[in-house]
Amino acid sequence: MEKKIRILTGDRPTGKLHIGHYFGSLQKRIEMQNSGLYDPYILIADVQALTDNFKKKKKVRKNVREVAMDYLAAGIDTKKTTIYIQSMISEVAELTVFYSNLVTIARLQRNPTVKTEIAQKRDVFGESVTYGFLGYPVSQAADITCFDGELVPVGEDQLPLIEQCREIVRKFNSIYGEVLIEPKAVLSSGKRIKGLDGNEKMGKSLGNAIYLSDSEEEISKKVMSAVTDPARIKKDDKGNPDICMVYYYHQLFSKDEEVKNVCEECKAGARGCVACKRQLAKNINNAIEPMRVKRAYYEEHPEIVDEVLKEGTKKAQRVAKQTMEKVKQAMRLDYFRK
Ligand code: TRP
Ligand code: SF4
């Protein structure tokens, strides 16, 4: 059997996953998982989540299971994909320390992702950012290389982090020998989903997200509050679907035939917005329902979720240990080795 390509990716456990995550990354991960060509590892990055949420320890801890349940509900299959918890792999922390000699502070400060995030997080960091946050690209490089990750499916915002990881690998290999694999980023972003309010991004903090775990009523309520063509007041006003979030979502969740009808009827003033929204809510609900049902099962059986995490983490620990041996040998940090 040919060796499968190792995929390494993950998420910070900052909350339940929404349909932005689904279309943005989960869908692609599931597709890659099911292709049979890859050996995917997904980490729940709890240590990284603490880099800007260092006081929110209970929340991060709780969200580890929330994210795991979302993965399982969406179709991550642990027969094919290994899910593990970052903090349980002490080798990653050790590697981070080794790599920290290979990166300058100026280079980290220039990393576009880090730069943007620091600017956004003034409320957390004030005038001076922590060493841990500034250095999280280094620990992310450890996340990837500790597992010989070859492909890293990420969103566009993460590309500078993968680039920095590649630099660290090249530097390491040039000093200590060809030990590490230089990973490649693959854009996992299928689509970037706008919020129901028309915001370019869907997010918890923006209050415009539909979660994989939302109930039928919650979905319906959210859809009813979506932004439509503001010029339409009466039902027979002619509308412009292109500026309506309901139409935008119809294109994601409704059949082609339906989408066409929505468009034509809206333009002709032959469709009421309330009915249009009801129809959309129904379609979104139909798409999410199987995930919600699966998720509810895992919510009732937390022991199954914990078992999945335990098994995945154990497997990951074995892989990390092997990498660490190679690394320490290369760095001559293997004093007692015979
Ligand atoms: N930084 C990623 C995020 O915020 C999470 C992450 C941590 C990650 N380690 C990783 C992603 C390694 C890919 C590979 O979503
Ligand atoms: Fe939007 Fe539908 Fe109303 Fe047209 S009819 S503005 S597509 S909600």
Q: Closest ligand 2 atom, CA of 245?
A: 1
As a whole number of Å, the CA-based R_g of the chain is 23
pTM for the model stands at: 0.91
Query: In angstroms, what is the span from residue 272 Cα to ligand 2's centroid?
Result: 7
- Does residue 34 contact residue 80 with C-beta atoms inside 8 Å? yes
| Nearest CA owner, ligand 2 atom 4 | 266
Ligand number, closest to the Cα atom of 281:
2
Please report, for the chain, the start and end positions of each structural domain, with discontinuous segments joined by +: 5-193+302-331, 214-296
Ligand 1 site residues (CB inside 6 A) read 8-12, 43, 45, 48, 140, 143-144, 152, 154, 158
pLDDT at 38: 97
| Nearest CA owner, ligand 2 atom 3 | 273
Query: At what angle are helices 273-300 and 245-253 packed, to 10 degrees?
Result: 50
Q: Closest ligand 2 atom, CA of 263?
A: 7
pLDDT at 257: 96
- What secondary structure letter does DSSP report for 211? B
Q: 308: how many CB neighbours lie within 10 A of its CB?
A: 20
Query: In angstroms, what is the span from residue 98 Cα to ligand 1's centroid?
Result: 19
pLDDT tens, the chain, 338 aa long: 678 999 999 999 999 999 989 988 899 999 999 999 999 999 999 999 999 988 889 999 999 999 999 999 999 999 999 999 999 999 999 999 999 999 999 999 999 999 999 998 888 888 899 999 999 999 999 999 999 999 999 888 899 999 999 999 999 999 999 999 999 999 876 677 899 888 888 887 777 899 999 999 999 999 999 999 988 888 889 999 999 999 999 999 999 999 999 999 999 999 999 999 999 999 999 999 999 999 999 999 999 999 999 999 999 999 999 999 999 999 999 999 87
Q: Domain 214-296: give its CATH architecture.
A: Orthogonal Bundle (1.10)
Query: In angstroms, what is the span from residue 248 Cα to ligand 1's centroid?
Result: 29
CATH class for the domain made up of 5-193+302-331 = alpha beta
Q: What is the pLDDT of residues 176-191, one digit of tens each?
A: 999 999 999 998 766 7
